[in-house]
Amino acid sequence: MARNLRGAGASAVLYLPGVLFYLNRTRSPTTPPLAVPRCSRTALSSTSSGSTARMSAAAGNCSDPVAPPAAKKVEHRMEMFGDVRIDNYYWLRDDSRSDPDVLSHLQRENAYTDSVMAGTKQLEDNLFAEIRGRIKEDDISAPTRRGPYYYYNRYLEGKEYIQHCRRLIPDSEAPPSVYDKMPTGPEAPPEQVILDENIKAQNHPFYHVAAFQVNPSNKLVAYAEDTKGDEIHTVYVINAETGATVGKPLANVTSYLEWAGDDALVYITMDEILRPDKVWLHRLGTEQSDDICLYHEKDDIFSLDLEVSESKKFLFVASESKNTTSTFYFNVSKPEDGLQVLTPRIYGEETRVSHRGNNFFIRRRSDLFYNSELLACPLDDVSNTTVLIPHRESVKITDMQLFADHLVLFERENGSQKVTVYRLPALGEPLTQLQGGRSIDFVDPVFSVDRSESQFSSNILRFTYSSMRTPPSAYDHDMDTGISVVKKIETVLGGFDESNYVIERKWATAPDGTQIPMSIVYRKNMVKLDASDPLLLYGYGSYEICIDPSFKGSRLSLLDRGFIYVIAHIRGGGEMGRPWYDNGKLLKKKNTFTDFIACAEYLIEKGYCTKEKLCINGRSAGGLLMGAVLNMRPDLFMAAVAGVPFVDVLTTMLDPTIPLTTSEWEEWGDPRTEEYYHYMKSYSPVDNVRAQNYPHILVTAGLNDPRVLYSEPAKFVAKLRDLKTDDNMLLFKCEMGAGHFSKSGRGLRSSDEVIACYLEISFSNNIGQKEGFC
């Protein structure tokens, strides 16, 4: 758990709080312009202090908008190392989410944002229809083979949630082929709906199934549901045939959940600061209070993770910090043995493990072998390791996937992904250093590829591929012949043609000379590349997470109106190998911010845009990036969208009672030491807001967010309202029934994007009125 996006990244690239910022600026030959009602056009005038804007309707029969909220000031004094900080908005933090004054302030902020948007309901509806109109609502995912069944998700027209379904494979004993297709005609085995989330979600403002696990016999399913957005789950076990509930639910657990045979579950729970700290064994038919605690991680720097081997014979529990991992194994056939140590805790060493035959496979990273090496050891002698793939300075191993006869490595080189397939010796033969790996070829210059569930006993690798112009596509790859067959391409309605879009890789130079990669996409008949085009620059840069250049259908509403979209692969992420991460964390964190600024300056210098048409976007730890660069170079940007931003860094990292604080001292530093205190204070956005002009800013939050407390963006906005010297828009939207990942449901997520889009259009109206851009 981190201040990041669900999963590592593909869909996260455009959460879109934003940004059809200049949506009316130009029109696509296929997309009509959107008429913005005049009553959303606003004129701004300053109060006597010059720090708070007063809005009045420019024309039409619009009601007077609500004034921007001014949060009350309650002095809260904090002193450390002789340094005194005054936080006038500390009172906005209420862990119970029930304080009337806090809720009232958040509601006033939401009312103000709604007021700015007065008269734009038709615009919202048009955008919603456009974005959702690209989605094939009645659809299914690429079916996955598990035993005698094809499993898949079904999407229904007009419904917000999925159905979990399966069909029998007509001849499940036949060897699988990349050319296999699930029969769906009248003669096909009937579809069975195992779980309909639309029914489960009734009467819940938020609903998310975070784990859906089928037991080995395919008779039972365990799933973990979250009904608040706080990522605290309840686990239910149901009969896969009838849907009947089996036993009592497991309460207050994480989404880490795996079967240990047909009649037992292993799961993880959290402590009071939401740190996954205990792993449990539950036998069906028993009370949760009787469950066996397999391990308790008492060191609050470390959190627990749970995975199952591809062979399904072992479970692996990882105790991990930001730079150290130890691993235990659990033999499913010998549950009485409990957890056994596989890789001991060695500070600075990280491991990921799996199993095949008589061996464990270990991906190990250390300070010396920073891009990882691949090892194997016998099951009965785990300290006797053999190097299969040695460390390489230019190639980072990011993941591995094991099969009965093959090994697949997911790697990175020079900022791009690679997938390499190795043939393994027959079971029982000795393992030695592997040679002759074969890489899978991809067509786009920059792209994203992710592993998918595959059958361990087969020779078929399932992976998902996309690029900034190529919709997500599921492939089956025959690892013996090298043939790849597409199994499913996400349908994009509305006349989409990927040949209309250009993708590029460019490099900016950071102040220390480091070359920073960027991924760029635009519609070739809609941009001039003469500095007249609007541009959205996205960044993240934390936790070694790679923001790979993937596809997002809602992004087309930008591209088809002449926007250029750019991802800055800045340090703190993992795109260029482990040193890329190490040079963007702790006492080198400011490299993340200066890298992003260097990318913005490069795009202006090369004529992609001007600073008057440059918009920026980031969320969570990327929201920290937004806050930092806004304080450092507010003159460089026209608008910024900060989603659930981690902006009160110093105060949060000084408070071990806040979720994630203790586990992230190895990411940001521990400010209880003086060096880290002063360094962190020098960039923490809330601590560096000052009296200066800022661009237009939209900030979002989720009241139930356990990763970034809603109070952080609330305080940031309150301080900006008090100190900023401009008349530019500052809007804050707090979702009162959601967490870190906004609203749930297929359409509601799109709707959330639409809301942010038309917020940005109001920005553009103001800019157009003042500066002649619209």
Q: Which residues are catalytic?
A: 620, 705, 740
Contact 82, 68 (CB under 8 A): no
Question: Tokens standing for 265?
Answer: 């579950």
**What does DSSP assign to residue 92?**
G
- If you ran DSSP here, which 8-state letter would residue 163 be given? E
Q: How far apart are CA 418 and CA 400, in angstroms?
A: 12
Which residues are within 8 A (CB) of 292 and not within 5 positions of it... i.e. 6 or more apart? 280, 281
Q: In the beta sheet, which residues pair with residue 155?
A: 139, 162
Give backbone dihedrals phi and psi of 527, rounded to 5 degrees, phi first. -120, 155
| Gap between the Cα atoms of 500 and 526, Å rounded | 9
Asked if 564 and 528 count as a contact pair (C-beta separation under 8 A), the reply is no
Distance CA 128, CA 126 (A): 5
Question: CA–CA separation, 700 vs 118, rounded Å?
Answer: 19
C-alpha to C-alpha distance for 481 and 460, rounded to whole angstroms: 10
Angle subtended at Cα 229 by Cα 225 and Cα 232, rounded to the nearest 5 degrees: 55
Give the three-class secondary structure for 133: coil
For residue 40, which amino acid is it?
S
Helices (H), 421-566: 556-559
Q: What is the rounded distance in angstroms from the CA atom of residue 40 to the CA atom of residue 21?
A: 14
Distance CA 470, CA 489 (A): 9
Answer yes or no: are the C-beta atoms of 116 and 40 closer than 8 Å: yes
User: What does the block give as tokens for 479?
Assistant: 């690892």
Task: Show contacts of 134-140: CB within 8 Å, 24+ apart.
Answer: 134/492, 134/493, 134/494, 134/496, 134/553, 134/554, 134/556, 135/491, 135/493, 135/553, 135/746, 135/750, 136/491, 136/493, 139/491, 140/165
* Integer Cα distance of 328 and 320 in angstroms: 11
Strand partners, 474: 464, 488
Torsion sign across C-alpha atoms 595, 597, 601, 607: positive
Nearest Cα neighbor of 734 from 10, 3, 42, 69 is 69
Please name the residue that has the structure tokens 């590349």. Answer: 529
Calculate the alpha carbon distances from 94 to 373, 652, 658, 706 in Å.
46, 14, 12, 12
Torsion of CA 22, 23, 28, 31, to 10 degrees: 180
Q: Are 568 and 538 in contact (CB under 8 A)?
A: yes
Strands 473-478 and 460-466: antiparallel
DSSP H or E segment with residue 463: strand 460-466
Instruction: Give the DSSP H/E element, type plus range, for residue 144.
Output: strand 144-146
Beta-carbon contacts of 402 under 8 Å, excluding residues fewer than 6 positions away, are 309, 310, 311, 354, 355, 356, 361, 408, 456
**What distance in Å separates the CA atoms of residue 738 and residue 88, rounded to the nearest whole number?**
26
Distance, in Å, from the CA atom of 378 to the CA atom of 331, rounded to the nearest integer, reads 14
> And the tokens for 484?
């790849």
